[in-house]
């Protein structure tokens, strides 16, 4: 197969689509323990569905860091257009209040809270206060706490530098408050990888990230045991020629000459690219999880590859990889903790048509297409 026809499976940092800025934050201020939630079916042991999040705007702080400034310069120097990345202009969205739990075991904090949590003198107290206000109840079933969402592409150096210290404060506070089983992680967009040709073993973290921000982040995951979370979106990297490869349909496959492995889906290639980048830093033992992924059912009228059947094919294929125990070519015989985007369509979201149509369910909880997510394993809802 001519691999040049299907080059990069990874997003271009400079032309990141609007969808990728999504955050795990509710648009209404709810008690995280009373917000609607969905349990996974027996078919998917570690699958949950993300709710109705909107992005938090970047902080307006003027603080700078030579480390982050160096990273940003290196990114500019190394950035190359990704042939399979679609570029479209983003739009600003209003900041929602507080956070909301979108599943029986996941809760999250807004990006804007991270600097206060990272503060050396008051961060731990702030973390304890948040936990007591949001998690300290007998009814809590949270097992995973997300510190913001997709922080690293932020133009705010202070926010980027706050991420890991905030995660450490949260982990300390959870332990001191009697929640040692609640893990702390943060979802990353796939742009943490350097632009590549789509061959998984050629993947590496971006210049600067691989020396200045990583490996301290994977080290935290190794020490505290939460998964390293990424938000892979093959939807934002496909074109008509690679549609079958993206939707888990029969295709010519991608061959990795270094491992002599064949890839039949872009999703598996993206996951193994993350794994490869981790291995190159010495952290192949850290678990990888999917923070969010999905496929829309509607888009612009002339866009090929978007519809109910395409969305169902993608999500069913992803679930086979993540929940069946099949794993990926470089991570075989394992399952992956996975969160689908999105529970409902978001009819008031600005931007392109597809932004509003990632929902799996109608407002009355009838499925847009059936992935058997609401069954109890015996066929009943």
Mind listing the domains of the chain with CATH numbers?
Answer: 3-356 (3.20.20.80)
Assigned token pair, 40: 């996974």
Q: Are 27 and 96 in contact (CB under 8 A)?
A: yes
* Helices of type H across 135-156: none
Q: Please give the sequence-ordered ranges of beta strands (E in DSSP) within the chain, or none if there are none.
A: 47-50, 106-109, 144-147, 183-185, 187-189, 228-231, 254-256, 261-263, 288-293, 338-341
Q: How far apart are CA 367 and CA 361, in angstroms?
A: 4
Phi-psi region of 150 (alpha: psi -120 to 50; beta: other; left: phi over 0): left
Q: pLDDT at position 14, please?
A: 33
Q: Which residue has the tokens 């997003």?
A: 11
Q: How far apart are CA 182 and CA 106, in angstroms?
A: 9
Spatial CB neighbours of 120, under 8 Å, sequence gap ≥ 6: 165
Cα end-to-end span (Å), the chain: 45
Q: pLDDT at position 242, please?
A: 96
Q: How far apart are CA 220 and CA 343, in angstroms?
A: 30
Q: pLDDT at position 3, please?
A: 34
Cis peptide upstream of residue 340 (ω within 30 degrees of 0): no
Assigned token pair, 189: 């967009």
Q: Are 322 and 335 in contact (CB under 8 A)?
A: yes
| Residues paired with 183 in a beta bridge | 144
pLDDT values of the chain reduced to their tens digit, one per residue, 381 residues: 333 333 344 443 333 333 433 332 222 222 222 222 322 222 223 445 554 333 223 333 333 344 555 544 444 444 443 322 332 222 222 222 222 223 448 899 999 999 999 999 999 999 999 999 998 776 578 999 999 999 999 999 999 999 999 999 999 999 999 999 999 999 999 999 999 999 999 999 998 888 888 889 999 999 999 999 999 999 999 999 999 999 999 999 999 999 999 999 999 999 999 999 999 999 999 999 999 999 999 999 999 999 999 999 999 999 999 999 999 999 999 999 999 999 999 999 999 999 999 999 999 989 999 998 765 544 333
Q: pLDDT at position 43, please?
A: 26
Q: pLDDT at position 105, please?
A: 82
Q: Please give the sequence-ordered ranges of beta strands (E in DSSP) within 312-366, or none if there are none.
A: 338-341
Active-site positions read: 150, 292
Assigned token pair, 144: 């995973």
């Amino acid at each position: 197969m001519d691999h040049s026809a299907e080059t990069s499976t990874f997003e271009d940092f400079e032309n990141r689509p609007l969808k990728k800025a999504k955050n795990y934050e509710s648009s209404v201020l709810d008690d995280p323990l009373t917000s609607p939630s969905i349990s996974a079916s027996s078919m998917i042991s570690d699958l949950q569905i993300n709710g109705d999040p909107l992005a938090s705007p970047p902080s307006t702080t003027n603080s700078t860091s030579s480390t982050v400034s160096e990273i940003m310069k290196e990114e500019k120097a190394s950035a190359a257009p990704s042939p399979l990345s679609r570029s479209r202009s983003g739009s600003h969205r209003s900041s929602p209040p507080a956070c909301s739990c979108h599943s029986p075991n996941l809760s999250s904090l807004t990006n804007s809270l991270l600097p206060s949590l990272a503060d050396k003198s008051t961060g731990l107290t702030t973390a304890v206060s948040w936990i007591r206000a949001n998690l300290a109840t007998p009814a809590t079933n949270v097992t995973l706490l997300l510190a913001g969402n997709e922080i690293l592409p932020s133009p705010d150096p202070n926010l980027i530098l706050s991420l890991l210290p905030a995660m450490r404060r949260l982990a300390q506070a959870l332990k001191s408050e009697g929640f040692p089983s609640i893990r702390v992680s943060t979802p990353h967009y796939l742009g943490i990888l350097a632009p590549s040709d789509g061959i998984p073993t050629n993947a590496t973290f971006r210049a600067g990230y691989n020396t200045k921000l990583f490996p301290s982040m994977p080290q935290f995951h190794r020490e505290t045991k939460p998964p390293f979370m990424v938000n892979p979106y093959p939807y934002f990297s496909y074109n008509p020629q690679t549609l079958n490869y993206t939707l888990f349909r029969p295709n010519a496959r991608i061959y990795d000459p270094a491992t002599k492995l064949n890839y039949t889906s872009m999703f598996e290639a993206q996951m193994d690219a993350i794994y490869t980048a981790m291995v190159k830093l010495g952290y192949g033992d850290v678990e990888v999880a999917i923070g969010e992924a999905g496929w829309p059912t509607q888009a612009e009228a002339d866009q090929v590859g978007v519809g109910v059947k395409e969305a169902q094919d993608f999500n069913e294929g992803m679930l086979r990889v993540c929940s069946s125990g099949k794993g990926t070519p470089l991570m075989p015989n394992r399952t992956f903790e996975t969160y689908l985007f999105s529970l409902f369509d978001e009819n008031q979201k600005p931007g392109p048509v597809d932004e509003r149509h990632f929902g799996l369910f109608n407002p009355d909880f009838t499925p847009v297409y059936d992935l058997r997510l609401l069954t109890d394993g015996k066929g009943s809802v």
